[in-house]
Structure 1
């Protein structure tokens, strides 16, 4: 509800005549993109009745006696409080009116060259917004309308429809072009499969025109699919390989959709794909999807630069236009201190490691003398910095060897120490057993690993942990005990609600996040004791570890399906479960550890609260994890505001062509899209190998940009329009060179004036020039009035002008080195020579 404030009712009731005459359409155009509650009457009043009618009145509120047609009144020129998407009040930057506001979009009036893609003129008259899901969400509609014509970065919290937005934009570019190709890339196969389902069952892209390609598909099959299909669902490594080998023609691509776009930094495959396509094709659209673009300004700018982003659309859970679609989430932070068992083990381990650590401190190579603060990354960085200092460079070789050997040993212990502090004694014991085996087998060379292994404190610690871990009831960390209690209570409460009169059978699910696989497997071991009430399963990546096997992408999809169906009700995941996966509705999220990254923190917490109220439990250690969590939370809130303002970032409007002609203005067509019958197949659209052998991979093909010369051309004919006439093509014979063609080869390049060759008389010295040379350069006067004669200068030795200037070809490195040597030799004086003689001894030879 929007009303004007009572303090300026008089101004609204008696508007000036010119205000009445203003066009209503002007205001409608200006307010079209604003959410329905963008204006509020009071800073402290929460937004209500989202999506309801907007009432603008100049009198106190009263109940309407009967429904009457509302007059078309122009909005008041002032007095409304404008809200930002994050709930704050907008600071007015000028007059309070929007009547004269005009947007000056970059490149809005600039003519761009026509696209090389073949467009369907009939289809480009409209753009389709599917209503198959029922309700139309304003923020999704607005984002889609912008993403069709701009390289857009979309930052939406998990579960708010990024997949639908991508599918809708893909559908319209599929309609608008006749043969252009669309590529969706995601870092894992489960994420790719998730987008396939949306394109098939929501927007109705025909299955016969789509295919899912991964590294498991043979190059021969991929080459055939690139020739016949138009919509591709891929991992980034697969498409960059196909681009480099020529299987994919970059000039045919019209849309690239990038999921989990926050990865697009440095040399990640996302960045390579966009750069590669840009070399051959300037007429393509980029849509980037993520929950949080980055943790700081440089990281977000890297994403913008790597993906050629020209616009940014960002929302948070508190944004006014999505607040009605986000359910509340209760966050419970539980803080822990070390248990008595942990303190005992930390003391024994510290006593065993400290003598070796002090050797590093004596060389000023490591500043922290507490063994329990060791980390693998810290050791690697400290070693690199020490060897870069003067002390490290000038140290004797035995000292360098000692320092390097100690850093290797301590680095191998860093991960296990972190496991002891934040994850439990059992994972630490497994790490120490592995360390002892490496020392015994000689994998850790040097005496310092053996010194730690043979220390009496190490032996006592290992015997103590062996006794504890053999006890099946031993937990090893206060977090584990509390975790089991939280999970049990959640399922017991759900069963009580289901048993109550009118209650529904419980389908509640829990997801637990842990940073390391060892920790996740320990959690599953502890929770398995309470089966069948708790039915846990681990969810990890593809890589194998020494103690367990990884999960390939097929197995990951199976586990997600079984979790949705209720075979498992608790999923214990590492970082593989944090990004974008649709795992169904989860009622409880337990974060077993804290992440200092706001991206990972948000991805974890976004797993719940999608369709109903959710709960989040954070298990944090007071020493380090509590400050990390507070830092991540503050950093996330700060970055969201900075990204929304956009003033700290440089966007690339020049790399975001409209593609459609400027005269083409598609009108929206909101309707239910008919889903083709072929899309009802449950299997993923992966190419299937026939009965015979898989097709052979085609030879590598080099795609060339438009308007470039191909074939072999002589260097002297690079500027000839008919330079390819004499170039051999295939097995055909080259044309025989004629006198005219040879003369053409050696003509000067266009734009460069040839200098005429002077005659010999102009070059040789005449009598006057010879006398002038003798007077200026060959004779000098001394104190005895004699005029000794000197020889002509040697211009090729010890000259400051050597080497001379060049026009087309730069001097080589060897020539410059020789020139510098001559200049130094020319600078030797008699005093320098005498100094060499005085200090020279035969023993120096």
Structure 2
């Protein structure tokens, strides 16, 4: 591939894929040998695959490309993304999944005019085994989520068959994370016949030009003695609770309490709460106990506040949870150690050293230097990022205000206890005032990271390190600064700041160490030379003509819409052109921006809501599970949201796949022993329900005999169960083992 082939590739629509050097470099390698591409979220794995596919389809006009992804929603998402950027006719593209009947699949495999096929791996493996598919005509196979290519997963068999059947096999495998262990990466490479591994982060030389050029400086501070003592009390309290959770296996495989972070505790809490939702009231005692101990997350939060933010934030947190109430909050506040900490925080007059440094930095950048030889701007602007609203308020109202520096908060819309948040109009007004120079410093919480566009900023300050690479990219890359600038990251020694930094670096270093030695041991794949047979000028013209006809149909539809709104009469050509252009751009943007959108907080909140709704639907569905496409339609979910929600539930071990199309609650995967009964709920009382069984017998359903979704226990509800009948003191009872 040449540089021009990325900006103006014959099979890529103009303006749909940005030219990025690292994508060019990776695609160059992937076009000639089997390549495993490891890229963090939002660096564009999908577009690299699209570029490689475009090049192969263009160079070898009589060959085909097969792209696979583990689930049907992912396959659909890729089809939309590729269709938005590649010059390819609708009839030249096909999707093959378990929903496609064998005869129709055979027709796709046999029809060589279908040049680009998107499929789920189970179907591909089955059709290879049944003789419906031969891979000799495929010039490229793409394996998405390639880290799954271990043991007997379908990817392994497909790659083996492909290398055996094709004279010129080329494999492109993609993943965001293959795991840090060298053995795991080696297994994936062996199973997919990988000859070369390409790994990038935003720190790499060919990636840096496409992220905002900035000078990053770390500044470290020692905590005051008062803070260190408070932290020691919280740490001793935290260790007790973490050991309790570790002993009961509630934190996965983690054993060392030093390397348990808030994220681990939050995930444990989510898993426990999902379990709680499907549990009758009287059975919740043990789960409540586990959740109370899982509230170690609250203790860890307190520790993070005193070490990383300051006494003001911890004091505000105690006041807020006291007002909110709640069982976990009340238990925390009654703990003797927390009572001691609270008393100390109330007395602590000492400011966190980070706050003092904020004042110095702001004065340096906003007030400039009195030295005329200093070319620094006399009036710069500073953006301060912090994770916490309390800290943002404290910096603006207390720290900076006391020194006469004008500043404003910028926070999200969500309402919190004692904080109304900011609506969109208020946010827009603050940003406009900042641009116009009405104040010098903007202090923004993390929820404002996405979409914050302030090109005039000279300095960005991180009040605390961010533990995730995604958050780091958001803070650096989402500010929209066009010119080089500076970033100062403030961190406290021997605190959670240090542990966040070390844990993040350790993950990256282990991965880099593993990958650096992998390429040296990968074996080349023997392949015959294949003479290029490129797409002709006439064929290209036909492809472009097909799109032109499609756009003309869209133009007519838009003209009719505008005409109806106007109540008849001619439609202004300029208005029509603008609307058609806008709609085409929206369609393309929606198709290719899913990966970048995953960084936003709004997207993650939507995923969380979707996960809970999916969990409820699967609880109702019972052992049969639910078809993912029907779930998507029923819940009105976009593919990116659906895919991430399914991944979330899978990670929490709440969901399992029966096949490529059907998901089921993990608890329902193993069939229970017993007879199947049809149930109709007649009456619901405290601790029990009266049900009619098989329209014949009336029975009691006690709370301890039912662990299914509470939503089903409503008068008039009907459902099937696997269960067991018994008599107790002459009363017929039913023990429900599983919802069918």
TM-score by length of 1: 0.38
Q: Relative to total residues, which structure has the larger strand share, 1 or 2? A: 2
Q: Relative to total residues, which structure has the larger helix share, 1 or 2? A: 2
The structure with the largest alpha-carbon Rg is: 1
